[in-house]
Amino acid sequence: MSKPRLALYWAASCGGCEIAVLDVEEQILAVAEFFDIVFWPCAMDFKYKDVEAMPDASIDLCLFNGAIRTSENESMARLLRRKSKLLVAFGSCAMDGCIPGLANLTTREEIVRFTYQDSPSTANAAGVRPQPRCEVPEGELEIPEFYESVRTLGQVVPTDYFMPGCPPQPPQILAVLSAVMQGAPLPPRGSVIGAGEKTCCDECGRVRKEKHLKHFYRPWEIEPKPDECLLDQGLICMGPATRSGCGALCIKANVPCRGCYGAAPNVADQGAKMISALSSVIDSQDPGEINWILDQIPDPVGTFYRFSVPVSILHRKQTV
Ligand code: SF4
Ligand code: SF4
């Protein structure tokens, strides 16, 4: 009997999601035994033409990590959508845009100009920039087009499931793969899988009290008490706005949650939810003092929207 066919692909991301797959440790052998791995460029030498030659819907499960930054990312997303029965946005970049999505706070022109002309380590007096196509003696060279905005997988192709995390935690990856391998009933299409249905605060064991915040700290400014809520101690912890599922991993290491599991269930905009949560605990009625307290947050967008700019209500910095 032929095995189910599995594909893994890496678009605009750091590669951490691929490492997280290997972090299921020896269970990867059971995964490799169960599936026929038909495409995994990070681990084995496959060519895109190998995928193009596959019949449509012949891949049973495709774990697609990474955002859509370039035309290559988009064409692979469309190709793998066509070839896959189940396409999973695997990890925060594919699901929410994540760190690559922070580029939506600037423009393609600003990124290209800094990278190829203005950065202190660049010597490019002629201002040469990469072109999507150029002629060389051997023929025409083509490189992917760099898009104006970063998009998520679900903003480009219909996506069956969404698995959050930067990266998804190995026990969650294993739980999802095991469910598929055991033939468990699949949740409705469009569901978030490999995560919880509550907030990160709900799986955090720290003691909380009524919050009255007058001062915010950067993580390096204080050594937080190990048992008390980090937000109560003045550290911005994204737990109230973030989906559960990681086991409050960072908080157990005495580090605030940065929000990598994305918006909590039924929350449309993770950053807006966190701003709303904070606005109710700032301990002042005086506008001047409120501004002084808020000024202690040096990078509000990078703090509240670190993982979710492309799926936020604004999607990107608006330029008119
Ligand atoms: S804000 Fe952070 S530290 Fe406080 S309860 Fe929520 S997850 Fe835990
Ligand atoms: S605690 Fe927050 S930032 Fe850390 S792994 Fe969990 S969701 Fe991600």
244-282 pLDDT per residue, tens = 999 999 999 999 999 999 999 999 999 999 999 998 889
Q: Which residues line ligand 2 (CB under 6 A)?
A: 200, 242, 246, 248-251, 257-261
Q: Pocket of ligand 2, candidates 92, 172, 198, 200: which has the most ligand atoms within 8 Å of its Cβ, to mutate? A: 200
Residue 289 alpha carbon to ligand 2 centre in Å: 31
236 C-beta closer than 6 A to ligand 1: no
Portion of the chain with pLDDT greater than 90, in percent: 87
pLDDT above 90 for 46: no
- What 3-state class would DSSP assign to 305? coil
How far apart, in whole angstroms, are the C-alpha atoms of residue 244 and residue 250? 12
How far apart, in whole angstroms, are the C-alpha atoms of residue 173 and residue 148? 32
pLDDT of residue 44: 86
pLDDT of residue 302: 95
252 C-beta closer than 6 A to ligand 1: no
- Quick one: average pLDDT of 230-245? 96
How far apart, in whole angstroms, are the C-alpha atoms of residue 100 and residue 136? 31
Token pair belonging to 123: 């010597």
* pLDDT, tens digit, 9 for 90 and up, residues 58-106: 999 999 999 999 999 999 999 999 999 999 999 999 999 999 999 999 9
- Residue 98 makes CB contacts below 8 A (sequence gap 6+) with 13, 67, 91, 92, 166, 260, 306, 307, 308
Peptide bond into 224 cis (omega under 30): no
- CA angle, corner 164, sides to 158 and 167, nearest 5? 125
- Quick one: average pLDDT of 142-149? 96
Residue 94 alpha carbon to ligand 1 centre in Å: 26
How far apart, in whole angstroms, are the C-alpha atoms of residue 117 and residue 123? 7
Residue 261 alpha carbon to ligand 2 centre in Å: 6
Token pair belonging to 161: 């499931």
pTM of the model: 0.94
Residue 238 CB-density burial (10 A; 0-12 exposed, 13-18 middle, 19+ buried): buried
Q: Which residue has the tokens 């997280």?
A: 20
For the chain, the average pLDDT equals 94
